[in-house]
């Protein structure tokens, strides 16, 4: 019904998995050995099990439809890495607004990714509202020769000299962010869709931790959802 495009989670189309990158079983077992107290503090000892269920387009989202919806753009904090889907801020917001949850968040992704997904899916899905929590400005999206999509940031400096030049002058990331911002604003405006946009760390605060002990936990997601709902 809706055209698909390739992205970092394409391999997960129509799949339900126990672990994903950043929240993998090896990391969890290692934390059991070295960070048991912290896992216990945040409630990940006795109730650690949940799954990541992806729709036919490879997103941790309701299946796409023509139903009234809110569309989310962002990185791992938007998809909800390390958290059950029902405890993520996007699900809480969608439920409160009584709208379908079309979550296009992708872990480690860039604002480039947000724009590319917005450009393709917003005109198709025509949501009532778009909520975008933009991420680190140093991240970009690279399309490789073998047609893969790779998120790149400071952690990929050893792969070549691209980021040596990219990071030297902050105007590169500043201007890229401005272009992505203006582009997504334009897409929403031309489709007569309301947009809420904020930098992720302006609305997400750490009150607890997810299963991977890196991302935000249930209390943090609830607080984020409430902050966004207050703005709306």
The closest alpha carbon to 137, from 169, 185, 95, belongs to 169
Report the DSSP beta bridge partners of residue 106: none
Write down the architecture of domain 10-231 according to CATH.
3-Layer(aba) Sandwich (3.40)
H/E element holding 101? strand 100-103
Residue 187 or 175, more confident = 187
Write 203-208 long-range contacts (CB < 8 A, 24+).
203/133, 203/227, 203/228, 204/77, 204/89, 204/133, 208/42, 208/43
Is 222 a residue whose pLDDT tops 80? yes
Tens digits of per-residue pLDDT, 73-95? 999 999 999 999 999 999 999 99
Query: What DSSP state is assigned to residue 119?
Result: H
Taking all residues of the chain, what is their mean pLDDT, rounded to a whole number?
A: 91
Using pLDDT thresholds of 50, 70 and 90, give the confidence band for residue 30. very high
Residue 27 DSSP SS3: helix
Tens digits of per-residue pLDDT, 135-163? 988 888 776 666 677 777 766 655 555 66
- pTM for the predicted model, two decimal places: 0.82
Is 175 a residue whose pLDDT tops 80? no
The answer for 145, left when phi > 0, alpha when psi is -120 to 50, beta otherwise, is alpha
What does DSSP say about strands 140-143 and 149-152: parallel, antiparallel, or unpaired?
antiparallel
Write 43-51 long-range contacts (CB < 8 A, 24+).
43/208, 43/217, 43/218, 44/211, 44/213, 48/211, 49/18, 50/83, 50/84, 50/85, 51/16, 51/17, 51/18
Is 79 within 8 Å of 60 (Cβ atoms)?
yes
């Amino acid at each position: 019904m809706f055209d698909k495009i390739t992205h970092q989670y394409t391999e997960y189309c129509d799949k339900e998995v126990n672990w994903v990158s950043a929240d993998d079983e090896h990391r969890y077992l290692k934390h059991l050995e070295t960070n048991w107290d912290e896992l216990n503090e945040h409630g990940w000892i006795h109730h650690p099990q949940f799954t990541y269920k992806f729709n036919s387009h490879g997103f941790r989202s309701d299946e796409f439809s023509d139903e009234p919806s809110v569309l989310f753009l962002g990185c791992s904090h938007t998809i909800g890495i390390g958290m059950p889907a029902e405890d993520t801020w996007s699900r809480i917001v969608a439920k409160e607004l009584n709208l379908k949850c079309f979550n296009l968040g992708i872990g480690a992704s860039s604002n480039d990714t947000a724009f590319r997904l917005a450009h393709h899916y917003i005109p198709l899905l025509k949501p009532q509202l778009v909520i975008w929590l933009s991420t680190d400005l140093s991240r970009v999206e690279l399309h490789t020769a073998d047609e893969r999509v790779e998120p790149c940031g400071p952690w990929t400096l050893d792969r070549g000299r691209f980021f040596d030049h990219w990071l030297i002058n902050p105007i590169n990331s500043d201007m890229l962010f401005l272009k992505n911002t203006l582009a997504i604003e334009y897409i929403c405006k031309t489709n007569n869709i309301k947009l809420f946009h904020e930098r992720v760390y302006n609305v997400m605060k750490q009150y607890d931790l997810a299963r991977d002990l890196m991302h935000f936990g249930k209390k943090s997601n609830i607080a984020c959802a409430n902050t966004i709902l207050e703005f709306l």
